[in-house]
Amino acid sequence: NAGVMQNPRHLVRRRGQEARLRCSPMKGHSHVYWYRQLPEEGLKFMVYLQKENIIDESGMPKERFSAEFPKEGPSILRIQQVVRGDSAAYFCASSPQTGSPSYEQYFGPGTRLTVT
Amino acid sequence: GENVEQHPSTLSVQEGDSAVIKCTYSDSASNYFPWYKQELGKRPQLIIDIRSNVGEKKDQRIAVTLNKTAKHFSLHITETQPEDSAVYFCAASWMDSSYKLIFGSGTRLLVRP
């Protein structure tokens, strides 16, 4: 009964490098949400994806950030040319229903990105 | 867009007392209101949720109330225990917004033994 999986759990990057964060939803879930949590703050929505489709990216920064959820494999959140302000915990959540999303979202353990 | 405000930001109670955390939302289209508990360094865990067609929901020591007219909802924890100490987040969601969760800023609850 595997839950939402994320890797790596911790990621250290120097300024200017690329960060790739992976999320595997719960078995049978085909809806993935990414959220960012800055230190000592709440969670902010970034992007919502279904398999092979970006549905809502209204929370994504306009530059350097991209996301995908291919037909096979995990969802990827990619941050190019990282800056210190990107240091945060990145959580993904998956939603139970396949045809249309359901309200409940279950979170993965998060990836803690540190930019040095 | 939707905005969720949460109060208080910190709350300290004696073990056995009750704790109440309040949230208000701005978009009347919101119809799903979950509460998450987050321990230090851990993932947010869904502890209870309520939908707009219900005014109150209870699960053992935890209850949530919703006032749609006033656009606010509250989390009530009774008989608090030290293990209830954590950060609690409220959130709001609605169908036309892709069901994305808009979170409050969090309440740090400390239960003193």
Q: Tell me, what amino acid is at A69? A: F
pLDDT band at B52 (very low <50, low <70, confident <90, very high): confident
DSSP summary character for residue A86: G
CB-based contact B55:B38 (threshold 8 Å): no
* B89/A59 touch (CB, cutoff 8 Å), yes or no: no
Q: Determine contact, residues B90/B21, Cβ cutoff 8 Å.
A: yes
Per the structure block, which two tokens stand in for A3? 């839950």
Structure confidence by residue, pLDDT tens digits, B10-29? 999 999 999 999 999 998 88
* CA-to-CA dists, residue A18 to A26, A80, A87, A95, B65, angstroms: 26, 4, 13, 28, 44
β-bridge mates for residue B37, sequence order: B45, B88
Read off the tokens for A36: 């960012």
Q: Is the predicted pLDDT of residue B92 greater than 70, yes or no?
A: yes
A109: chain B residues, CB-CB within 8 Å: 42-43
Q: Which of A44, A59, A107 lies nearest to residue B44, judging by beta carbons?
A: A107
CA-based end-to-end distance of chain B: 41
Q: Express as a percent the part of chain A with pLDDT over 70.
A: 94
What is the model's pLDDT at position A1?
A: 53
CB contact under 8 A, B99 and A109: no
Interface contact flag, B51 A41, Cβ < 8 Å: no
pLDDT in tens, A24-70: 999 878 889 999 999 888 899 999 999 899 999 999 999 999 999 99
Mean local confidence (pLDDT), B90-110: 90
